[in-house]
Structure 1
Amino acid sequence: MDQLLAIKAFSRVVESGSFTRAADSLNMPKATLSKLVQELEAHLSVRLLQRTTRRVTVTAEGREYYEKALRILRDLEDIDACFNALRSKPRGHLRVDIGGSTARDILIPLLPDFFDRYPDITLDLGVSDRPVNLISDNVDCVIRGGPLADSSLIARLIGHATLITCATPAYLKASGVPAYPDELRNGHRLVSYLSPLTGKPFPLRFERQGEKVEITSAHRIGVNESNGHLAAGLAGLGIIQTFSYSLSSILRRGDMVEILRDWRPAGYPFHLVYPQNRHVTQRLRVFIDWLVARFPARVAGEGESGT
């Protein structure tokens, strides 16, 4: 038995909750991975995992073994990373998950610079506003806006975005320009951004001189993806609230007009998030450092007119 490989196989099953996902993430056949775990259990004379046709659960002994083995794996990875960093450039494969408009307007336009700096790194982007499970989906990191719900993850604040409320000139000509947020409750059509996780609309948020207002009036249309949400606003379906980085060129062209500028809410936080039980590889480290240096100005819309 290759004990180190067996430990890696067992640990990945624990992290992903599935033999199939664990085998995929390690690029080995499921039968090979299953045999490695069985050999490890025989070697230890203890049951580490309980298997049924529907699920895999970790035994108490398996949980204890995983926690001890994880420290060993981290130490070995740190040793490898230290020596690799001394003699080689960052290389390998990264999987990054990011929301639709943030990918389109922020990350993808920056990527030529990243690949110029690190030509030996390949990148797979999962572009969706729906949250992913970093462990079971084998994602290296995610870039997300808003409050963080999972305290088991490591999060690094990478910037704040400006939320802007706007509508098309045709809509405002027909419906009037609101002077106060409360006017949105009476007669105005709203295009809501729906939570991709719950399906519930996010309220429109406003703030001025310490006064905070949230508008949760019924919407004419709700969209659970950021690019579609913006498209609905551009089509004149109603008033939207979205990020300035998606609106800069649209506002410059006059396709939409900002309203309630004095009521812009506080900056919306964006974080880069990765699992705390996953080793930070050299390629992930350079990606994080690069993004921290480049992301804040772009997400804040610095140097862009019209916002």
Structure 2
Amino acid sequence: METTHNPAGRTLDETHEMSFIDHLEALRWHIIRAAIAVVVFSTAAFLAKDFLFHDLILGPSRPDFWTYQMFCKLGQALNSPDLCLKKLTFDLQNRQMSGQLSMHISTSVIVGLALAFPYTFWELWRFIRPGLYPHERANSRGAVLFVSVLFLLGLLFGYYVAAPLSINFLASYQLDASIENQIDLQSYISTLTTMSLSCAFVFELPMIVYFLAKAGLVTPEVMRIYRKHAFVVILVIAAVITPPDVSSQLIVTIPIMLLYELSITIAKVVSRNRLQRLNADLAANQGVS
């Protein structure tokens, strides 16, 4: 028997099997509900303009930002005053007539997409889950929760660690003292959102490995063998999403490497459980024969 959905997303009688058109109709409703969630969060972000821009978006452009304050306290504890940021040497500018309105709308949509991600993934999971076998459903319990938590942790890491480091480095970098950094608003927001969202998706590595291990495509032995290669790839990723200074790259590389080691442990547990299930099925088949 197969659990199916009606067009509105409700569970139908398990004895009925859905046609291809029914699947498309069910998918359409899942997409519609996810889109509504994005619109709701985007509208809320658009209406909260002062908080969205003054506190959230423009926060890393001011010395009183939480991350800079923590580095300052660290500098005081280590007797290293250079870690205290007193001023960011750049000015944000808008050079287009409709530039600020356009950035208000586009930024609100990006924030809406980020906030609606857990619900969007849940809708996608509701569409996929009925097609799984019972043991696959049991083994994938909590998938939505873990994917959402990892996404939010990555987003927070990108916003509070990776993005401020990039903004601070790029804003203070000068070829000559006579050249002033007058940063376009679009460039600043693009850097902030790219850094934050990149870290959010990179933090999904453990869940990606989990599902690949469930499918038998990844094993802990392979991940251990290619650990050095993975380290090089992670360094490249860190170099892409961070400014070209060693400290920023290391700060981003370390948590990703920890996630890789965690992924090895996850792959080990999944592979062991998968092997036990295969042995149990083999023993059951031999008992029947």
TM-score, with structure 1 as normaliser: 0.19
Structure that is richer in strand per residue: 1
Higher helix share: 2
